[in-house]
Structure 1
Amino acid sequence: MINRRRFIALAPAFWVGTSFAQKVPMPGKMDLCPVCGMVVSKYPNWIAVVTWKDGHAHFFDGAKDMFKFLFDLPKYAPGHRSQEIAAIHVTDFYNLERIDGRRALYVIGSDVYGPMGHEFVPLATAEDAADFLKEHKGKKILRFDQVTAKLPFRLDDGKFD
């Protein structure tokens, strides 16, 4: 039988420990995107984060620059390897919360622009992605693993195929 008093006393510590482990880091006031050099905190609705197993993080002003970074780590993060990535987070367009970037869906070709122009618009659910695609004249919905190394640069050129 569970000792209720002990469970109640330990429960807050468990929750605090759990929430601490899952907390997504936030950029500082002057953190720069390693791809474009923009101050990330100026664009809170678009922030993407790559967190490393050693605890440090790189912040981006949008998913597009995050993808450029991930596809060319030797250029943007010398000495880092993809196996050292602990988590990837993007900002959901509708609720503005950080969501798992590997599970997010991304709409491209819409009439919504990010800080660097055409952008991968992150959404948490298939329903939200379908609604956004329709409401904002998007061209495609992509999963994380469907994004290719060339696609972020094609978005810069306004090409969505």
Structure 2
Amino acid sequence: MILARQSLLPAGFGTLFLIAAVVAWFWPQSSGNVTGFDPMDDFCIIAPATPYDPASGLALHEPRPIPADARCPVCGMFPARYPRWAGQVIFADGATHFFDSPVNLLVFLRDVARYSNYTAEDVIASYTNDVATDTWTPAETAYFVHGSDALGPMREGNLPSFAEREAAQAFADLRGGKVLARSEVDSGLLDSLTHAAHHHHH
């Protein structure tokens, strides 16, 4: 199973420190883009879902690699350019929408029909990238850090995600912010983050 979750902190403080150091080293105080793309070059009007490819060998609910041409249905950016922040939502027919950040994934899940031809009932799985391991983790059980100095793809605050609370707390201890469970990320918080990003770029 692709998402077999590993215990990140079986030991004590030493392991915690190591994870924190790795996260800090690989996540600079910037958007963390793989390449020097300007986010403002990414926008589009329509972002279709990526159809399921049976030849991939993946089950319908399993996370997929991000296609280079996939666009976020919320903002139109290219998630493949921002893999540290990426997310994906998979539908019952196997089609997948990819997202440039956890914030946009959560905004999408709040009102699926607004951004696609699907409904919330069609969603069978959602994933965000776990910063500590650079692997997919279920969005519903992920932990998010709000208020850190790590800038998202829009060069604004976002919600770095983690599979384990301890790793999220280690990140917050180094980079600032507060650890939130998925249930603690409410509409008010999402609205404040999306408003800040839109205000910055208009």
TM superposition score normalised by structure 2: 0.64
Structure 1 unpaired stretches of 5+? 1-18
The one-letter amino acid paired with 2:174 is E
* Partner deviation per Cα, 1:125-155 (whole Å, 9 max, x = no partner): 11111111111111x2111122212312212
Q: How does 1:31-42 map to 2 (within 5 A)?
A: 31-42=70-81
The one-letter amino acid paired with 1:99 is T
Cα RMSD after superposing both structures: 1.7
Question: Which residue in 1 is equivalent to 2:69?
Answer: 30
Q: State whether residues 67 and 149 of structure 1, in contact with CA within 8 Å, keep that contact through their aligned partners in structure 2.
A: no
* Partner deviation per Cα, 1:89-142 (whole Å, 9 max, x = no partner): 00011211111111110010001111022111101111111111111111x211
In 2, the alpha carbon distance for the partners of 1:130 and 1:113 equals 17
Question: Which residue in 2 is equivalent to 1:87?
Answer: 125
Shift of 1:73: 1.7
The one-letter amino acid paired with 2:149 is D
3-state SS, counterpart of residue 64 of structure 1: helix
Shift of 1:75: 1.4
Larger Rg: 1
In 2, the alpha carbon distance for the partners of 1:91 and 1:29 equals 16
3-state SS, counterpart of residue 90 of structure 2: strand
The one-letter amino acid paired with 2:140 is R
In 2, the alpha carbon distance for the partners of 1:58 and 1:141 equals 26
* Partner deviation per Cα, 1:34-77 (whole Å, 9 max, x = no partner): 01111111111111000011100000001011111111223112
The one-letter amino acid paired with 1:130 is Q
Are positions 1:45 and 2:67 aligned together? no
In 2, the alpha carbon distance for the partners of 1:144 and 1:54 equals 25
Question: Which residue in 1 is equivalent to 2:99?
Answer: 60
Question: Which residue in 2 is equivalent to 1:125?
Answer: 164
The one of 147, 150, 158 aligned to 1:112: 150
In 2, the alpha carbon distance for the partners of 1:153 and 1:100 equals 22
Between the two proteins, the alignment pairs up a number of residues equal to 138
> Per residue, is there more strand in 1 or in 2?
1
Question: Which residue in 2 is equivalent to 1:144?
Answer: 182
Q: State whether residues 113 and 120 of structure 2, in contact with CA within 8 Å, keep that contact through their aligned partners in structure 1.
A: no
Structure 2 unpaired stretches of 5+? 1-56, 198-202
Shift of 1:20: 3.3
Question: Which residue in 2 is equivalent to 1:155?
Answer: 193
In 2, the alpha carbon distance for the partners of 1:20 and 1:89 equals 15
Q: Percent of pairs identical after alignment?
A: 30
Q: State whether residues 107 and 141 of structure 1, in contact with CA within 8 Å, keep that contact through their aligned partners in structure 2.
A: yes
Q: How does 1:67-82 map to 2 (within 5 A)?
A: 67-78=106-117, 80-82=118-120
Q: State whether residues 104 and 125 of structure 1, in contact with CA within 8 Å, keep that contact through their aligned partners in structure 2.
A: yes
TM superposition score normalised by structure 1: 0.79
